[in-house]
Each structure stands twice: as structure tokens, then as C-alpha cells.
Amino acid sequence: MINHKLLAAAAVDAKSRAYAPYSRFHVGAALLCADGNVYIGCNIESAAYPATICAERTALTKAISEGVRKIRAIAVAGSFPDKEGNYCYPCGVCRQMLHEFVTDDFEVIIAKSADDYRVHKWEEILPYGFGPKDLA
């Protein structure tokens, strides 16, 4: 059973570590792996914008670099530091990267706080996604 509240809280905490001097929009992510480990990530901006990396991909690359290949869920939280944000969904690039590793029961928790979040199944987030199964 996935503890949505705990994962949402980890994403909100990760958001505080963001490096976003240009957009000032801070995003945090917490990725739950099949082995129970959680990898967090934050967005990291660069003056050369294409070099910027999103929180979701930061968490994913941390997990993959540690040998993880099976993930169960991700929580995402984003906002400007001085404002309560709306629900912040993964961008298209993050959705495509995650699609390489998700299973049909993968869950996406979109959090404003540890107590205010939405839970989605993967097919709601990326319907008709193109991935490894399409190349088999």
C-alpha cells in the first residue's frame, strides 16, 4: 500500500531545495521505488535554460543511477515560494522519461501539501504514451 500522505510530504519538502533563481517556481518530487526506497528531487535551473532539469527527472535519474528499474509512484509539488500553488503536474518531457519505467498500476500524487493532494493512475497522466512496449 502506498502512503500517499508521506510521499506528498516528501515532495513538498524537496521543493524547498529547488534552485530556481530565474523562474522562481520551485518544484519537488518524491519517487517511490518497488524496493520501498524513496528518491527525492528538485528542479535545478541554469542560465542556459535548456540545461535546466525538472524535479521529477532529478528524482528519476538518482534512482536509475543507483540501479533501480522498478518504480511504483511519484509525488510532485510546485509553487512560487511566497504563494500557495495550484496542483503542479509533470511536464511532457518528465512524463516521457517516467514512461520508460512505469507499470500499469503506477500512481502519480499531485500535492499542494501533505494534506491536500490528488492521486492519478498513470494512464490519466499520459494516455496513449509511446514507450518500450511499442518497440518490442
The residues annotated as belonging to the active site are 56
Q: Convert the pLDDT of each residue in 45-59 to its tens digit.
A: 999 989 999 999 999
Residue 28 to residue 43: CA distance in whole angstroms: 7
pLDDT score at 89: 97
Q: Convert the pLDDT of each residue in 98-123 to its tens digit.
A: 999 998 899 999 999 999 999 999 99
Helix axis angle, 55-65 relative to 4-15, nearest 10°?
110
Residue 49 to residue 59: CA distance in whole angstroms: 19
